[in-house]
């Protein structure tokens, strides 16, 4: 087969990853300017290239000059293409290179790894061995990273074995990659053995911390962390990230304070981890402080940090501040728009979310699966059924995004909220995919909301038959029975839960006061100020009755006396958190409460009146969305 390099147009016709080439301001588009350059100058030019269109004319000139097989030139070409995110182009260059040596293999394998094409890297490594070319220690480290990222344990063990045979296992970088491989694949015993054979090293300790955190072993990660004498930024960030990923958010913030106490400078990754912790906790004041802290260390408001800030402000109920960050960002990608759309939806700004979606499409940014989840949720929270169906049908038709189960779930939620339960059930039955427990649970929740006992029983039975029933299924079914006055059936469901060893997820609410997070459970007596909290609760109960409040006692599943039911409702975690906010903050201060479960109907009615009585704005984030209570009304319009 003739070599395509014979054609001087080959360099311009090869495919590469990314969009079609466009003129680049620094592109070396004039071949005449390249003819007089020697090898050293061309290599320097390739190393300075930042866009594939800067590489193309250089490649074309090399072909014209007959240097397309020069190993030094090909090596720099491969590296430049990888750096310019044109790994497909690099792969084609390699394909037509005669007798590639270990350095050329290394350049392309490294390019595959840096672009996330781990399987291709492993396959190319196997081809290299088949060609009887031995790897060097740099290539060993690169291919071990590919095996770890691909979770290719068997291939990784083979690489480890070869590293031992070739004497590379004592190389520091190779050892670190071996640890990383075993850590990511869950082989922590092997990772630990390699770690213990190494001299004390903050980088090795950081890899071990991340390995333990990946497997949910936070205490083990903390033990390694505590033994590191001189912790650098990366080590601190790994520990903070481990806490965040394992939902130990308070400990993440404590670690960040410890990092400050040690005068270790954070980087953008540290900031994003801490902002994620604030998002999970709803710690708005701490999040604001972190935002101002960024300016002290001149951390740039780039896409990575900006998107995290938008998410934090959105999830902490300050959508206006999220919008301010969005407006200040110089660059915005699809993730930026997705985060803002989801934030607007969660905060009850359905129409603004839809308008932002239109702006995004108008700017020719292609929507993703996540985009449509955000928009459909906005339709659901806003009761926009017709527009929701319009968006849903446009996904495949206009944007070539096939609806996934999460999109069908949004439509089931949308129909369920407006009471079109049979329609929602028909949609589930006509789907091409099998419904998951989340989708069926959503429909069961709608059956409870609209007191459709017959369909609720049918959906619960389907969950049981599929082996997808969990504690939430039985709790919802108990609510369906209890709301219909069928206490015997509700008790039987609870007994079934007990027999299966299932426990209802406890409701937990948190409130941030003076940069500290205070958490409350149902009837909590742990708080140091519990006496004052319950005094305030009794005072509010008296005032609520004067306002004509009548507890919705059917919310309580147990068949107990009405007085006991009223007290059980009054001690819900969100009410205790609100009471603490009332006694510990200045009058007129906004109270923000975060709850892990959906707020019940009775608490929703009570909090509307509490906001009116106390003349406070009260914000509650539950599992589904934000509720903004003011003057006896809620932003959701009693539709959630």
What pTM was estimated for this model as a whole? 0.82
Query: Residue 28 above 50 pLDDT?
Result: no
Query: Residue 333 above 50 pLDDT?
Result: yes
- Which residue in 409, 407, 386 sits closest to 396, CA to CA? 407
Comparing 231-235, 349-353, 403-407, 498-502, the range with the smallest average pLDDT is 498-502
Q: What is the pLDDT of residue 453?
A: 87
**What is the per-residue pLDDT across 576-595, written as a single tens digit (0 to 9) for each?**
999 999 999 999 999 999 99
User: Which phi and psi angles does 344 have, rounded to 5°?
Assistant: -60, -45
Exposed/middle/buried for 186, CB within 10 Å: 0-12, 13-18, 19+? Answer: middle
**What is the per-residue pLDDT across 186-215, written as a single tens digit (0 to 9) for each?**
999 999 999 999 988 999 999 999 999 999
The two beta strands, 508-513 and 591-595, are antiparallel
Q: What is the pLDDT of residue 35?
A: 61
Query: Residue 30 above 60 pLDDT?
Result: no
**What is the per-residue pLDDT across 594-610, written as a single tens digit (0 to 9) for each?**
999 889 888 999 999 99
Query: Residue 366 above 80 pLDDT?
Result: yes
CB distance 536 to 582 below 8 Å: yes
Query: Residue 485 above 80 pLDDT?
Result: no
In angstroms, the CA 203 to CA 182 distance is: 16
CB distance 267 to 233 below 8 Å: yes
In angstroms, the CA 612 to CA 624 distance is: 24
629, β-bridge pairs: 618, 634
Comparing 21-30, 172-181, 274-283, the range with the smallest average pLDDT is 21-30
Query: Residue 52 above 80 pLDDT?
Result: yes
**What is the per-residue pLDDT across 71-102, written as a single tens digit (0 to 9) for each?**
888 999 999 998 888 999 999 999 989 999 99
Query: Residue 163 above 60 pLDDT?
Result: yes
CA distance from start to end of the chain? 67
Comparing 32-41, 90-99, 308-317, 438-447, the range with the smallest average pLDDT is 32-41
Q: What is the pLDDT of residue 9?
A: 39
Q: What is the pLDDT of residue 63?
A: 84
Helix axes 188-197, 202-214, angle to 10 degrees: 170
Helix axes 319-328, 334-346, angle to 10 degrees: 160
Q: What is the pLDDT of residue 551?
A: 78
Domain ranges within the chain, ordered by starting residue: 413-499, 508-634
**What is the per-residue pLDDT across 535-585, written as a single tens digit (0 to 9) for each?**
999 999 999 999 998 877 555 545 444 545 566 778 899 999 999 999 999
Question: What number is the average pLDDT over the span 291-312?
Answer: 92
Q: What is the pLDDT of residue 554?
A: 55
Split at pLDDT 50, 70, 90, the class of 10 is very low
Split at pLDDT 50, 70, 90, the class of 36 is low
Report, in this order, helix, strand and coil percent for the chain, each rounded to 5. Answer: 65, 5, 30
In angstroms, the CA 518 to CA 522 distance is: 14
Question: What number is the average pLDDT over the span 502-517?
Answer: 88
């Amino acid at each position: 087969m003739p070599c395509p390099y014979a054609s001087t147009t080959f360099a311009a016709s090869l495919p590469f990853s990314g969009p079609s080439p466009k003129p680049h301001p620094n592109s070396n588009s004039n071949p005449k300017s390249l003819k007089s350059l020697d090898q050293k100058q061309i290599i320097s030019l390739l190393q300075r290239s930042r866009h594939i269109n800067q590489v193309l004319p250089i490649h074309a000139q090399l072909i014209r000059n007959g240097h397309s097989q020069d190993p030094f030139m090909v090596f720099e070409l491969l590296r430049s293409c990888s750096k310019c995110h044109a790994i497909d182009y690099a792969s084609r260059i390699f394909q037509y290179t005669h007798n590639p040596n270990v350095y050329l293999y290394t350049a392309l394998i490294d390019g595959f790894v840096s672009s996330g094409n781990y399987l291709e890297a492993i396959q190319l490594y196997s081809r290299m061995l088949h060609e009887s070319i031995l790897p060097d220690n740099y290539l060993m480290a690169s291919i071990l990273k590919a095996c770890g990222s691909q979770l290719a344990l068997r291939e990784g063990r083979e690489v480890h074995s070869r590293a031992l045979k070739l004497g590379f296992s004592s190389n520091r970088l190779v050892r670190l990659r071996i640890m990383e491989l075993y850590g990511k694949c869950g082989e922590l015993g092997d990772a630990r053995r390699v770690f213990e054979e190494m001299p004390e090293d903050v980088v090795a300790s950081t890899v071990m911390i991340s390995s333990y955190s990946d497997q949910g072993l936070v205490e083990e990660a903390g033990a390694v962390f505590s033994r590191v004498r001189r912790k650098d930024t990366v080590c601190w960030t790994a520990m903070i990230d481990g806490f965040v990923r394992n939902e130990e958010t308070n400990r993440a913030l404590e670690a960040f304070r410890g990092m400050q106490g040690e005068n270790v400078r954070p980087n953008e990754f540290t900031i994003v981890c801490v902002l994620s912790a604030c998002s999970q906790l709803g710690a708005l004041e701490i999040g604001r402080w972190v935002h101002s802290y960024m300016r002290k260390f001149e951390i740039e408001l780039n896409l990575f940090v900006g998107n995290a800030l938008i998410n934090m402000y959105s999830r902490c109920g300050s959508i206006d501040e999220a919008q301010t960050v969005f407006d200040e960002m110089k660059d915005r990608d699809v993730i930026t728009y997705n985060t803002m759309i989801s934030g607007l939806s969660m905060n009850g700004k359905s129409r603004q979310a839809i308008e932002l979606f239109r702006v995004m499409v108008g700017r020719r940014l292609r929507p993703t699966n996540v985009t449509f989840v955000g928009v459909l949720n906005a339709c659901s929270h806003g009761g926009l059924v017709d527009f929701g169906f319009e968006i849903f049908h446009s996904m495949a038709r206009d944007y070539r995004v096939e609806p996934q189960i999460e999109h069908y779930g949004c439509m089931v939620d949308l129909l369920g909220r407006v009471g079109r339960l049979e329609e929602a059930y028909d949609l589930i039955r006509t789907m091409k995919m099998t419904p998951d427990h989340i989708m069926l649970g959503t429909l069961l929740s709608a059956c409870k909301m609209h007191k459709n006992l017959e369909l609720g029983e049918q959906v619960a039975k389907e969950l049981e038959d599929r082996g997808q029933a969990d504690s939430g299924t039985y709790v919802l079914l108990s609510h369906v029975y209890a709301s219909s006055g069928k206490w015997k059936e509700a008790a039987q469901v609870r007994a079934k839960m007990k027999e299966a060893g299932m426990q209802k997820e406890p409701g937990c609410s948190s409130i941030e006061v003076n940069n500290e997070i205070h958490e409350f459970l149902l009837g909590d007596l742990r708080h140091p100020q519990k006496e004052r909290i319950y005094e305030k609760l009794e005072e509010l109960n008296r005032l609520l009755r004067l306002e004509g409040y009548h507890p919705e006692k059917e919310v309580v599943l147990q068949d107990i006396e009405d007085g006991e039911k009223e007290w059980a409702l009054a001690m819900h975690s969100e009410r205790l958190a609100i009471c603490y906010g009332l006694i510990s903050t200045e009058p007129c201060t906004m109270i923000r409460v975060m709850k892990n479960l959906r707020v019940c109907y009775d608490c929703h009615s009570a909090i509307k009146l509490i906001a009116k009585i106390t003349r406070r704005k009260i914000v509650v984030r539950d599992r589904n969305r934000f509720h903004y209570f003011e003057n006896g009304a809620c932003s959701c319009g009693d539709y959630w």
